[in-house]
Amino acid sequence: MLSSKVTCNSHGQDSSYFLGWEEYEKNPYDEVKNPNGIIQMGLAENQLSFDLLESWLQKNPEIAAFKKHNNDQSIFKELALFQDYHGLPAFKNALVRFMSEIRGNTVTFDPNNLVLTAGATSANETLMFDRDLKWRTGAEIVPIHCSSLNGFRITKPALEDAYKQAEKQNLKVKGVLVTNPSNPLGTSLSLHELDLLVNFISTKNIHLISDEIYSGTVFSYPSFTSIMEVLKNRNLMNTEIAKRVHIVYSLSKDLGLPGFRIGAIYSNDERVVSAATKMSSFGLISSQTQYLLSEILSDKKFTKTYLSENRRRLKQRHEKLVKGLQKTGIRCLQSNAGLYCWVDMRQLLSSDTFEGEMELWLKIVYEVGLNISPGSSCHCSEPGWFRICFANMSEETLAVAMQRVKLFVESIVKKNTQSRHQQLLKRDSRRSKSLPKWVFELSFDHQREVGDER
């Protein structure tokens, strides 16, 4: 018998997010082989700087062959044998240095407080407290509903409302989970928001998990501020509050290596570190992967160049998407990070409802040939917002996508114009039929008199 957790739908596999993926996989776009296929714009993957990594590997072939730098001695056997749950010290040291570098070295991280996991998904589940978080743990997720009126920023009333909503459901709130920079907004949390969160968990005596897997993708002002920096600046590092703050990190987004399954939990609470270390035995990172990444991240010249160039490329690609959408009359939330844009398509909805959003989404997938993510799949409380990814494709493919959007919007505008014109004609026709006969006679006489004067 299969476990009920395996057979239930709480993982969200039947959500619009996954349905879009399924349609893409049935009919994937290819510039030559399938030019009318669906373009994948629902995947937050960074392929813009992959050439930099490949170039490093070409310059350091002995690393990929699992040989030591200073001689030709193979270390394959050493890496292939049993590894400790704690991971390779060299990799953990290199990873915490890289995490500090991303944050401008404003904070430092202790490798002893770091637990390696097979990707950020595993890290989040280990800390849990939907999909990825609630499927096996049974945890309930209560969204913090933010508004487009203030750019979807976190507010104290929004936090309190979410807390009250949980209480109404007889749920005991254990903590708050945020992504910083935000997915799907593409914005880094402000210092004000971070302070609000620290104050909130302090008052409620709960935990805070800050998912910072997009921290290296911040490409414009304002710069990224880690929750650890807030704790440090408020002199809270050695307090009970700091022990209830945890960070999730991964190399899936910053380095574009989701297939390597590199995730990590950072916590100031030794009990959390101890428990997470034991649980990590169910999802370890291979020693070969750790070794390869430790060598790459230890090359400070490379990491500095990579982070700078990656940010430049992300900014350039982001601008292309925003400008491409603007030309069609579609605007995006102003953002400064991430591999996607939060796009406002409310003016294209047939009705201001989530049914209208799903209707529009289906048209975009099947008629336009773009797989994007509707806001409802991200728990957005306002219909008409969509997440569109821009870093997982070539510039040429993005241009094709923008051309498709342009033609789609033009067709909608044309239909709406024709519909309004027909409505006006019907209205004028109804008015004409309702006018008394003498009005038409008077109008005819007037026209005849004007004609005689000419």
Segment 58-63 shows an average pLDDT of 90
DSSP symbols for 315-332? HHHHHHHHHHHHTTT-EE
Query: What is d(CA 191, CA 189) in angstroms, rounded to the nearest whole number?
Result: 7
Task: Dump pLDDT digits (tens) for 404-424.
Answer: 999 999 998 888 777 666 666
Where do the H-state alpha helices sit in 151-233?
Answer: 156-168, 191-204, 227-233
The length of the chain in residues reads: 454
Q: What share of the chain is helix, strand, coil (3-state, %, to 5)?
A: 50, 10, 35
Cβ contact 215:251 at 8 Å: no
- Find tokens 């937050």 and name the residue: 44
Question: pLDDT-derived band of residue 439, with 50, 70 and 90 as boundaries?
Answer: very low
Task: Dump pLDDT digits (tens) for 152-185.
Answer: 999 999 999 999 999 999 999 999 999 999 999 9
Q: What is the pLDDT of residue 242?
A: 97
Tokens of 186: 């593409």
Mean pLDDT of the chain: 87
DSSP symbols for 341-396? EEEE-GGG-SSSSHHHHHHHHHHIIIII-EE-EEGGGGT-SSTTEEEEE-SSS-HH
Given a cut of 80, whether residue 346 has pLDDT beyond it is: yes
Given a cut of 80, whether residue 330 has pLDDT beyond it is: yes
Question: pLDDT-derived band of residue 137, with 50, 70 and 90 as boundaries?
Answer: low
Apex 162 CA angle, 158 and 165, nearest 5 = 140
- Residue 386 has phi, psi (to 5 degrees) of -135, 145
Cβ contact 273:264 at 8 Å: no
Given a cut of 70, whether residue 430 has pLDDT beyond it is: no
Question: pLDDT-derived band of residue 441, with 50, 70 and 90 as boundaries?
Answer: low
Query: What is d(CA 448, CA 427) in angstroms, rounded to the nearest whole number?
Result: 27
Segment 372-384 shows an average pLDDT of 94
DSSP annotation of 85 reads: T
Given a cut of 60, whether residue 8 has pLDDT beyond it is: no
Q: What is the pLDDT of residue 218?
A: 97
Task: Dump pLDDT digits (tens) for 299-322.
Answer: 999 999 999 999 999 999 999 999
CA distance readout (Å), 346 to 149, 358, 390, 408: 14, 12, 20, 15
